[in-house]
Amino acid sequence: MRSPTVFHPLLFVAALLAWSMVGAQGLVVMNLTLQHLTSASVLVWFVAFTSFGAAFWLNVRGDGRHALFLLGAQTAAALAVIATGASGFEGALLSIISGQVPMFLSSRSTVLWCSGLALTSLAVYLVLYPPLDALASAVGYAGLLVFTATASHIQQRELNGRRELARLHARLEAAQQQLAEREREQERLRIARELHDSLGHHLTALSLNIEVASHCVEGPGLEHVRRAQNVSRTLLREVREVVSSLREGPLQLGPALADLTREVPGLEVHLQVPEGLSVTEPAAAHCLLRCVQEVITNTLRHASAHHLWIDVVSTREGALRLHARDDGVGAMALEPGAGLTGMRERFTQLGGSLEWRLAARRGVELVAWLPTRGAHG
């Protein structure tokens, strides 16, 4: 079974028009009124026709968990309509079924299902019409089956391609963000080394020379030497603090996450991050970025969602809390893959936690917590 998907609006409208056409022709030919419902064949046609419409609506508006059952119900209803109808247009219902099959089944299963539709419809036509007429009707509608199934298959393949492209785009954005951060970190380290190796050494030598001078000078000039000594010590301490801060390199988490979540194809990401939030611990920042990347990837691949909400907050204790949810179709159960398992292990190693919850037909909700000494906003 494929992941749940959305029926293309044009195909949906075309299917409704075909279903309505079959119903209108049937009503005209049979002159259907309440009095005619006492006829067994007319009653079967009416029940089968309305059942087909209901099953079709539930299938294209559902989450895919009952797709096979609903496709089977539509198939049985369509054959019943063909067997009891008299307009000759009832076979168009089969094309509606063939347009849905590629959404939920593999290519091979689609071919088998459509072949079964063609053969069973031929059997029904052989009962109703002479052999040549039955064969002509079955072959004509079989061609329509092939056309609708092919169009739906192409549309589904295009949709899957866009989802895969969006997933790869998210991974590329994450890789670019990590590369940019690594380059910034290397530049900070280079500047820190330059300050330490050149300015730091010269200030140390200056401080030592002033120390020596303080023992050689007497009288009014000694006070000025001591002031110069205090200034040199203060300057040396401040340089060391600058070098230390450059080596730590706090990550501005807000802009980093904004770059990662900006313009994700096929998904609108709503990001909430406190302004100026930064993380001085590289491991914690990297863990959060990876977690958000994994959330986006899983939403694109499995959720069939249109919106994703991601909230990052800094608690009073200095910890970071990540909350993510989507408006996907949800599921009855979730089997965590390598991505979620790896994320939970990474959070656990850093002293945090990661949990996810499922709500039927309301998507997936993920909550992560990570202690860090260097989160501030």
Residues 18 and 118 in one domain: yes
Report the pLDDT value the prediction gives residue 331, as an integer from 0 to 100.
59
Question: In terms of C-beta density within 10 A (0-12 exposed, 13-18 middle, 19 or more buried), how is residue 170 classed?
Answer: buried
Residues 30 and 147 in one domain: yes
Report the pLDDT value the prediction gives residue 1, as an integer from 0 to 100.
39
Q: What SS3 state is found at 292?
A: helix
Q: How do residues 237-288 score in pLDDT, each as one tens digit?
A: 766 666 665 555 556 677 778 877 877 777 888 998 887 677 767 778 778 8
CATH code (residue 317): 3.30.565.10
Position 270 in a domain: yes
Under the banding of pLDDT at 50, 70 and 90, the label for residue 38 is low
Report the pLDDT value the prediction gives residue 356, as an integer from 0 to 100.
83
Q: Which of 113, 148, 164 is the last residue before a domain boundary? A: 164
Under the banding of pLDDT at 50, 70 and 90, the label for residue 32 is low
Q: Which of 164, 196, 231 is the last residue before a domain boundary? A: 164
Residues 147 and 278 in one domain: no
Comparison of pLDDT for 80 and 258, the residue scoring more = 80
Distance CA 33, CA 20 (A): 17
Phi and psi at residue 217, in whole multiples of 5°? -105, 140
Report the pLDDT value the prediction gives residue 34, as an integer from 0 to 100.
47
Q: Is the pLDDT of residue 12 over 90?
A: no
- CA 142 from chain centre, in angstroms, equals 37
State how many domains the chain has.
2
Q: In terms of residue numbers, what domain contains 295?
A: 250-377
Q: How do residues 170-179 score in pLDDT, each as one tens digit?
A: 777 777 777 7
pTM, to two decimals? 0.50
Q: Is the pLDDT of residue 325 over 80?
A: yes
Report the pLDDT value the prediction gives residue 252, as an integer from 0 to 100.
67
Phi and psi at residue 87, in whole multiples of 5°? -85, -25
